[in-house]
């Protein structure tokens, strides 16, 4: 792995880091069928080269962070396919190598394009359940059970050489506490990003102010924010976080369409641009209709990492990069 400065050091420069966008969307565009409990992790089994190709597309679009295909890659999930734990953890490590190979290939053609970072994706327990509960946070485990679930994957990611962990789409305060303990156990930097019930609460109902209070004093937490959320919730959520933490913020929402976790399908956006006859429902004016439209406002609130989640593309990330460059 190339030697890169820590994420926290890069964020101290106050430069904005464009992150990547949706992995699954781009894999589906390449013909992958992800209607599977393993979701994008399924592609680690049968077409791993496509994952590297997607990472490379995002680097070429200007992303400075590649997020590994390990969101739903857990020993428990692979066990349902008859895959033993050691092989499952080798697949987790493969997700890191694929991102690193894409990074190396990109830097070979653009040697001044770095530093580029690889984030080890740590999805929530609800992602393993594959029933939409990462958007509800209605599962109950003890701290020990959460840590026993997450520890093997985190160990594999750290051993494979990720630059930091992306503990993402977290719907549960209790799960965030357990993951925080693990990042300190492994002495690895991280960002923590949450799914939302609304612009002031994570999915299990915990106020964002409480979440920020948990993470604010932890030196290994480089950034805190939101992901896999509707565009219109990003601004109020970042504003709520900013009231309780001075840490850099991270935002990578969905494209604007609405996901139904029961049918696992996407529909039209739930929120539309304000009509101009008053404030929008979040109290912050017109809703952005794209990542690029929201980027300037999110920067003003302290977002230092901006990317995309479901249904976003390299084109969206390139558009974010153009806004960032114009603001610099």
Q: Is residue 320 part of a domain?
A: yes
pLDDT value at residue 1:
64
pLDDT value at residue 284:
46
Structural domain harbouring 184: 7-327
Please tell me what DSSP assigns to residue 134: G
Q: Is residue 21 part of a domain?
A: yes
The helix (H) or strand (E) run that includes residue 250 is strand 249-252
The model's pLDDT over 193-248, given as tens digits with 9 standing for 90+, comes to 999 999 999 999 999 999 999 999 999 999 999 999 999 999 999 999 999 999 99
Closest CA to 40 of 94, 84, 87, 83: 94
pLDDT value at residue 15:
84
Q: Is residue 179 part of a domain?
A: yes
pLDDT value at residue 217:
94
Q: Which residues share a beta bridge with 170?
A: 194
Question: Rounded to whole angstroms, how far apart are CA atoms 280 and 301?
Answer: 18
Q: Is residue 1 part of a domain?
A: no
Closest CA to 24 of 11, 33, 15: 33
User: What tokens does 178 get?
Assistant: 């357990």
Residues of the chain with pLDDT below 70 are 1-2, 259-266, 268-286, 328
pLDDT value at residue 281:
39
Q: Is residue 2 part of a domain?
A: no
pLDDT value at residue 271:
45
- Based on the structure, what is the number of domains in the chain? 1
User: What tokens does 184 get?
Assistant: 């300190």
Q: Is residue 300 part of a domain?
A: yes
pLDDT value at residue 173:
98
Q: What pTM value is reported for the model?
A: 0.92
pLDDT value at residue 279:
33
């Amino acid at each position: 792995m190339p030697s890169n400065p820590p994420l926290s050091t890069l964020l101290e420069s106050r430069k904005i880091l464009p992150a990547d966008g949706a992995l699954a969307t781009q894999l589906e565009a390449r013909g992958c069928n992800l209607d599977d409990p393993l979701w994008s992790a399924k592609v680690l089994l049968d077409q791993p080269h496509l994952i590297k190709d997607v990472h490379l597309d995002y680097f070429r679009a200007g992303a400075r962070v590649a997020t590994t295909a390990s969101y739903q890659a857990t020993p428990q999930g692979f066990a349902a396919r008859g895959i033993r734990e050691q092989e499952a953890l080798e697949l987790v490590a493969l997700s890191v190598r694929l991102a690193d190979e894409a990074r190396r290939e990109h830097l070979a053609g653009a040697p001044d394009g770095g530093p580029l970072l690889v984030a080890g994706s740590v999805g929530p327990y609800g992602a393993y359940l594959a029933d939409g509960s990462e958007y509800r946070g209605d599962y109950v485990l003890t701290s020990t059970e959460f840590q026993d679930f997450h520890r093997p994957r985190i160990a594999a990611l750290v051993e494979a050489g990720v630059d930091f962990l992306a503990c993402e789409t977290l719907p549960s305060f209790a799960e965030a506490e357990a993951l925080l303990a693990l990042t300190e156990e492994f002495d690895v930097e991280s960002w923590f990003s949450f799914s939302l019930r609304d612009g002031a609460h994570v999915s299990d109902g915990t106020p964002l102010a409480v979440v920020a209070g948990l993470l604010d004093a932890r030196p290994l937490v480089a950034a805190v924010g939101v992901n896999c959320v509707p565009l219109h919730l990003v601004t109020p959520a970042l504003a709520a976080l900013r009231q309780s933490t001075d840490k850099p913020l991270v935002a990578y929402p969905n494209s604007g369409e609405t996901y139904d976790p029961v049918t696992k399908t996407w529909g039209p956006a739930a929120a539309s641009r304000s009509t101009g006859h008053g404030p929008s429902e979040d109290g912050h004016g017109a809703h952005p209709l794209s990542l690029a439209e929201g980027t300037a406002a999110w920067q003003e609130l302290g977002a230092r990492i901006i990317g995309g989640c479901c249904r976003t593309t390299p084109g969206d990330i390139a558009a974010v990069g153009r806004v960032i460059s114009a603001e610099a």
